[in-house]
Structure formats: C-alpha cells, structure tokens
Structure 1
Amino acid sequence: MTALGFDFGTTNTVLAAKAGDTTRSLSFTSNAEVTESLRTCLSFMKDKDLGGLALKVEAGAAAISSFIENPGECRFLQSIKTFAASPLFQSTIVHARRHSFEDLLEIFTRRMMAYSGEGWPSDVTRIVAGRPVRFAGMNADAELAMERYRTALARFGFPDVQFVMEPVAAAFYFAQNLAQDTNVLVADFGGGTTDYSIIRFEKIAGKVKAQPIAHGGVGIAGDMFDFRIIDNVVSPQIGKGGYFRNFGKRLEIPSNYYANFGRWNQLSIFKTLRDFQDLKSLVRQAEDPDQLELFVDLIEHDEGYPLYQAISKTKFALSSQEEAEFHFEPLGRSGDRVVKRSDFETWIAPDIALMEKALDETLAEANMPESEVGAVFLTGGTSFVPAVRNLFSRRFGVERIQGGGELLSIAHGLALIGERDDIVDWVS
C-alpha cells in the first residue's frame, strides 16, 4: 500500500508519501521555483500556441509570476480552499468557461502531478486529505466541502479517499516520539484559521492509539498578522487617516480603500473597480495629495505581491529579533522603517486574545484543566511568532511545548495514518 498525505492549505499545499520506515515530501519543480511547499493558487492565460479555447495554467510561484507579468490578461485565483464549504459558491467564470470548486481542485492537483514529475508515486492506493476543524466562511458546510474533495479526487482514480482532521494528523506526526501515554494539545496555525485539538494518545501492543477529546478554533492566523503590519506601517503612508475637502467640508478618506490589502491580489482587482476611479479623483482634493498619488502608483504598477513579500520578510525577522527593517522601494522614503516587535505585538494583541478565547473554549469542551495536558504541539508558520508561543508558554510551561517540522507535519502525519490498518479509527 502507498498512501499519499494531502495537506491542501489555504496558503500552501504539501504532499507526503511513505519512504521506507519514514516519510518524504514531494518536490515540485516549475518554471519559477523548486519547493516542497506549493503556494495554493492558480493562473489561467489564453495561449494561441495551444489552439482553440485551451488555457495555459500554472500553480504556485509560476502562477504568481504569470499574474504579475500579465495583469490585464491573466486570471488569478488564490485561497481556493476558502470556497470549499460555501453553499453560495457554485462556480466562477475563467476566460468564458465555468469552473466549479471541484474543477479548480482537479486542475491544481494536476499541476502538482506535473511539477513533481517522476517523484509522484506511481502506486498510490489511498489518498488521505486533511480537513480543518472548522472550514472557513459563514455557514460553512463541512459535508459539502468533503463531498467536493471526493468528487475532484475521484477523477484521478484513487481507490480510497479518506479525511483526517489537520491537527490530528499533526499530532500523530509528533506522537511517534512520545515516551508515555498522554493528553496532547495541537495548535495548528494556517493562513486563515487557527485550529485546536485535544487528543489522548496511548501505545497499546506497540501501536499508537488515539482518542479525540475536543476540537475548536477561530478564523484568525498568519494572513491577519500580515494585514496588521500593512495597516500600521504602510497604509498611513499612503493616505489612511488623511482628509480631503469636498464642497467646503473636511472629510476623512474612506478606510474601505485600504481593506483591499487583506489579500495582495485584491489590489490588481481593485484597479478595475469604480472605487479606484473614485480614489484617483480624490487626489486633487486631498490635503496630502502626494500620499494618495503613491497609493495610486502602487495599484497601477501591481506592487501587491512584492509588498506582501516585504511584509512577510519583516514578520519573519521579528520572530528572532526585537526589531526588524521594513524595506519597500516603491514607497520611496516612506518605504524604509524599523518595526519593533513590541509594536507588532500591540497590533496583534486583539487577535491573540481571540486565539486564547478559542483555546479556553476547547479546554472547556474537553473538561480538562491545563495541568492534565501532557504535551503541546505547535504547527504552521505562525507558530514561530513569539507572541503566539508566549501564549502557550504562559499557559502550559515551556517544558511541555514541542515542535519540529512545523510546516510539513500535517502532510507527513496524513501519510503515516494512511499506511495504518486501523485508519477507520482516525478518519473524520
């Protein structure tokens, strides 16, 4: 049996398969990068060399490059996972062709297969897909999401498709090294959600057994932290909080213009909307027109993705430093600033509070005091943020926090579970 662990994430996707007594990550080679973690996004371009209605499709960094190089011609989709559980989402039009969620997941998976080349296992008999504790979106329908997953993956002929909660998979990956039976808290920090699971792990006759006790979470994670930096470091430099005059009245520049920074690709979409034309008309009326001119230039030159790269670099540096340089040349003199970790932690404090509230609710559901949690596993890129780690250190003590493989643990845990005879005890 060869099982494929499929961690289809909001921001990044990782695949893992069994390799001897351990697991390996699949490597993806596109025209833009070689990586074990593929950005979850797609680009669609008309290509006359393909003929007819055929489209040139890329994923990951190659899709981002295509979008940046062809902003007016390329259709770009990211955060595809957020549509999975939405009954309201039926399809989207891509270059005059309708695509359902199942179509998009199939297309993305086919690009992964192509990018992995000979590294794709030829004898996959089971695919184990991760699922969040709570799918993103209002009125999210988990059963609908998993049915859409099944439909898309069935098109590849996989004999067996199973689902395991993402924090459970991460816990299983870490639990291989547990020395004794214990209650484990897993905190999985993705791009859009933070998921908690409390699981009882025991070794019986040499095999790991697990009993899920409680699950919880909140729709806040790394993407929101990025937005907090932009909202406090960048937006004030391009007009947020400023004023303009209209018929003798002094009015504040609408803050909704700056909400587009919540997703970097929204800036390119923004320039096609009426709101952008309204923004440009405010330049002549603004008290500080140079700031709004700078905002307009960022949008017209499609600087959204480079901006997010600069923000991510700063956030990453703040994980190990008390202060970090933010540098973004398109902002001119406003694009050089030292960001202090203390300021960053102030900006994200309301988000950390909501994460802690969800943690309290999960412990209450488990009817478990903190003292009975034997180990805490933190997974996902946001787990490196000191304010996040400090929350768990304060609640559980540094000695109970374990890590390693934070970015790959879910996919590898899924692959390991997929090889087990008792997989029915793990699926959800």
Structure 2
Amino acid sequence: MTAIGIDYGTSNSEVVYFDGATHRHIKLDPLVKNGSKIRSSVFIYFEDELPPPPDEMVEVKVSQLKRVINEQIERAKQGYYSAKDPKEQSVYSGRIDDLRGEYHNKPALQRKAIQQLMHAMSLDEIPLLRLVESGKFAFGEEGFKRFLKMPDKGRLIYSPKNFLGASLDEDQKKAFKGIIANQLAYFKQCAEMQLNTTVTSAIIGRPVKFHGTRGEAGNRQAIQIMTEAASLAGFAQVGFLDEPIAAAYKIEQTLSRDTTALIVDIGGGTTDVCCINLSPDRTNQLNRAEDVLSVTGRRLGGMDCDKSLLLKAVAPEMGMGLKTINGLPVPPTYYSDMCAVDNIPALTRFFSDDYGLDIAQTMSITKDAKQLERLLIVQENKLSARVVNSVRMAKELLSSKDTITLPLQYVEDDFNVDISKEALKKALKPWLSKVKALVVECLEKTAVKPEVVMITGGMSLSPIIIDALYETLLNGMPRLENDAFNSVCEGLAIQAAKQ
C-alpha cells in the first residue's frame, strides 16, 4: 500500500511521498520549472458551445411556447369566424391546423426551447454544479493562462478550499466535491506515474478552522466534502492532520533531544498555531494526541493580505476615495466586491451587467472619472483574479525590496502603481494584530512554556511578519529554521508512511 501526503492549500498545493528515509516531491505542474507546487485555482471551461440547459428549464420554456401558440390559435379562430370570404376562412383554417400540429409536436418545441435558452444564456447564469458536470478542467499555470486568454469561456475558482466551510446548499456541496475530486485525481495520477506504483491512501493537511463563519459545523462539512472527494478520486483510505502538527513532525526529524515547540503556520487562507512536545524517540509513533498541548487557528492568511494591499495601494488608483458632484464618496463596496475572488456570489454580482451600469452611472457624476474608468475595465473584462494575483506577486517581491513598480498594462496602457514596503506594513498592521492574538491564545492554553519556535508557511518569508512576532511575543525564543513551503507536506508524508 503506497500512501502520500497532500498539502491542499488555499494558494498552492503539493504532494510528497516518504519512504521512511527520504522525501520525494511529486511534480504537479509541467509548465513550471521544478513544479512540485501547483496553483490551487481551477479553471472550468467550454471550448465550443455552452452546455444545453437543464431539463426543468427546457420544460418551463416549452410551457411558455405552448401558451404563445394557444394565443395564436385563439386569434386565428377569431379571424376564421369573422371572415366572410370562404377563401379567407380556408387560410385561417389551415393556420389553425398548423398551429395545433406545432402545439402537439413536443420534440420540435423542445428543440426550439433549447435554441432560445442557449441564445439568451451567458456563462455566469450556468449553475456551478452544471458547470462542473459539463465543463473541462485545467489546473495550475495551464488553467490560469487559459483564464487570461478566454475569461468568457469559463469560470476560475480562485481558491476552492476557501469555500469548504461556508454556507453551501446541496448542489454547491456537490459542485465543490466534484472540483476537488478532479484535483485529487490529478494529484494521484501524477504520483502514480512518477512513483511507478498504485497510490491507495493519503494524509491530507487541514487547517484547525476552515475558512468560513459556521464554526465546527463548517469544519465538519469541509472534512466531509474532502473525504467524499478523495473517494471519488480513487483513494481507498484518507486521513487528515492539522497542518501545524504536520510541520512539527517534519522538524522533529532534525532534533537530538526532547523539545517543546511552538509552531506558527501562516498560510494562504488560515493561520494555525500549536504547542507540541517533540521527541526523536517518538517519530515512528502513529498516535501523538498526548503530545499536542494546545492548538488554535483562524481564517487569517496571505489572501487577506493581498486584498488589504490591493485596497490600500491599488484601489485609490481606480477611483477609491473619489467623491461625486454631490459630495458622496464612490461606494467602497465596488472595491471589496472586486477583491472577492473567493466569494462566488459577490464576484458574480460584481461581473453583472447591472453592476457595470452602476459604475458607469457613478462615473457620470464624478469630477475625475479617469481613475474610475479603470475599475469599469476590470469589471467588464473580468480581471479581478488577475489584479489580485498581480498584487500577490507585488507582496512577495516586497519581502526583499523596499519599493516595486506594479505593471497593470492589461487594465490600461502605461498604468503602473508604485508600492513601498512601508505601504505593505500599513496594509498588514490590522491583520498582524490578529495573528499576534492567535499566538497569545495558543500560549495561554498550554501550561508548558515552549523552548523553541518554528514559523512556517508562505507568509513566514516576510521579514515584516517575523519582526512583528519577535518584537514582543517571541523575543528571546530560539527559532528553528525550516523549509517554509515544504515543511507541512513533508510532515504529512511522514504521517502517511506510518499508516
């Protein structure tokens, strides 16, 4: 039985196999050099025509067509009875017979109903479940490039993981189960091809609290969707492990003595913190529940930072803060909706024709409408995900640079935004205060003071974050060096090998 570790992340995902001695990272993205990580976003698209409308919608349209035919028959009857010329009556009689034939020709009515519905239908009106059942899937850079080339041909799900704990109806649950099943099946296929063996089971990382507002009910829903998706993907067995605990298992392999460690995992969608006893003598022990002293988490991740930086540094160049001629501000919800790449209802609303009309009307009563026109271009061309992705890259560059120039020529020619590290610090300040509070909460829950700290996850590469945590909270506590991007998945693979 071959088992793998899967770090199914908000921004990126990774698969690792551990043979008991060494880790093997599975290449997932053929378009990226050393592509062991892959974007978690999925592009679901149609190369040609949209899928036919569902049967129930067709039946409703057929009923509407029948009502119209009935009205035409009644008018033809009135014409027949009021006609004085037999030839004219004969014309009406033939018309009545033709309409009655049309009324009872159900296949023809269904074809006509489908044609009319297809003509009026746009991609945004297709329910997500039908899109998942009928569309084609593209992952990683291929999916993102397809999205950039043909946004009107499909829908980009920027971060499927962020929806798992949210309020979902049954069709939406089925849709996300289908999306994740397709991703996990692809991960499994890549692992089997590269390991040259059948992969039967997996340990999947999970945040302490999934993104959402439903608490423990949201967590249970997320695990159920992931479990059922893994089964659909072909896994005979699947288990879950808190991501900070997985990172602890990886660092445990490097220890020479028993140690109590504080693990801070700051990922794309959540921040999770745990205090755990680690021991080189217990690395092969399967159940380590007694070693976990405290664990806590919250939906605070890199994506929140991306949105905050966008609102602080880029949105003002798109009209945020402008006032209309009557002194009222341009609605700030324009910009929060533009950022809502992980909120399908909000993003669907933002891309609607009515929303574009509302922005255009606001432009007409704004003194300097040039900046607001950039927002309208983003709305009309469905560029939200691309803008958020650009800001994410700017955030990463500011980890090592004092200033950067963010090119946004796909919005407008010669449109560039200068962003400084100081601007990033200001954008991160409210977010960082919440991360600190989470660390304090974890420390207060344990009676044993940690001896060392390990900060991992993509956001741990930012000096701003490290400096903020060490300024007061972690001052004097030795920091364990680790691979910020791979520690969690390598720990998951270690746990998988114990099964």
TM-score range, shorter chain: 0.7 to 0.9
Q: How far off its partner does 1:192 sit?
A: 1.6
The structure 2 residue matched to 1:380, chosen from 457, 464, 467, is: 457
Say how many residue pairs are matched: 409
The structure 2 residue matched to 1:408, chosen from 482, 486, 491, is: 486
Greater CA drift, 67-76 or 189-198: 67-76
Q: Which residue of 2 aligns with 1:122?
A: 197
The 2-side partners of 1:390 and 1:280 are apart by 44
Deviations 1:373-404 (A, max 9, x none): 12211111111122211133233246611233
The 1-side partners of 2:199 and 2:455 are apart by 29
Percent identity, aligned pairs only, is: 22
Q: Which residue of 1 aligns with 2:17?
A: 17
Q: Which residue of 2 aligns with 1:181?
A: 258
In the alignment, does 2:229 pair up with 1:148?
A: no
Instruction: Return the structure number with greater helix share.
Output: 2
Deviations 1:39-87 (A, max 9, x none): 1122222245999985321112222222222222212223211222345
The structure 2 residue matched to 1:322, chosen from 402, 427, 439, is: 402
Greater CA drift, 390-399 or 378-387: 390-399
Larger radius of gyration: 2
Unmatched 5+ stretches in structure 1:
93-97, 424-428
Q: Which residue of 2 aligns with 1:426?
A: none
Q: How far off its partner does 1:160 sit?
A: 2.4
State whether residues 323 and 340 of structure 1, in contact with CA within 8 Å, keep that contact through their aligned partners in structure 2: yes
The 1-side partners of 2:51 and 2:298 are apart by 46
Q: Which residue of 1 aligns with 2:213?
A: 138
Matches within 5 A, 1:83-98: 83-86=163-166, 88-92=168-172
What code does the residue aligned with 1:254 have?
Answer: P
Matches within 5 A, 1:358-373: 358-368=438-448, 372-373=449-450
3-state secondary structure, aligned to 1:81:
helix
- Once superposed, what is the RMSD of the aligned Cα atoms? 2.8
What code does the residue aligned with 2:334 have?
Answer: Y
The structure 1 residue matched to 2:152, chosen from 69, 72, 96, is: 72
In the alignment, does 2:187 pair up with 1:103?
A: no
Distance 1:51 1:264, change over 3 A: closer
Distance 1:54 1:80, change over 3 A: closer
Q: Which residue of 1 aligns with 2:249?
A: 172
The 1-side partners of 2:328 and 2:367 are apart by 10
Deviations 1:116-169 (A, max 9, x none): 672255232431111111111011422332222222212344332111111100
Distance 1:57 1:310, change over 3 A: closer
3-state secondary structure, aligned to 1:213:
strand
State whether residues 217 and 358 of structure 1, in contact with CA within 8 Å, keep that contact through their aligned partners in structure 2: yes
State whether residues 33 and 62 of structure 1, in contact with CA within 8 Å, keep that contact through their aligned partners in structure 2: no
What code does the residue aligned with 2:176 have?
Answer: F
Q: Which residue of 1 aligns with 2:281?
A: 204
Distance 1:33 1:44, change over 3 A: farther
Question: Structure 2 length normalisation: TM-score?
Answer: 0.75
3-state secondary structure, aligned to 2:483:
coil
The 2-side partners of 1:18 and 1:113 are apart by 15
Deviations 1:321-358 (A, max 9, x none): 33333333345565242x33223212211111111111
Distance 1:181 1:236, change over 3 A: same
Q: Which residue of 2 aligns with 1:82?
A: 162
Instruction: Return the structure number with greater strand share.
Output: 1
The 1-side partners of 2:373 and 2:296 are apart by 44
State whether residues 177 and 226 of structure 2, in contact with CA within 8 Å, keep that contact through their aligned partners in structure 1: yes
State whether residues 33 and 61 of structure 1, in contact with CA within 8 Å, keep that contact through their aligned partners in structure 2: no
The 2-side partners of 1:49 and 1:271 are apart by 21
What code does the residue aligned with 1:364 have?
Answer: E
The 1-side partners of 2:171 and 2:430 are apart by 35
What code does the residue aligned with 2:275 have?
Answer: I
3-state secondary structure, aligned to 1:396:
coil
Distance 1:314 1:51, change over 3 A: closer
Matches within 5 A, 1:334-345: 335-337=416-418, 339-345=419-425
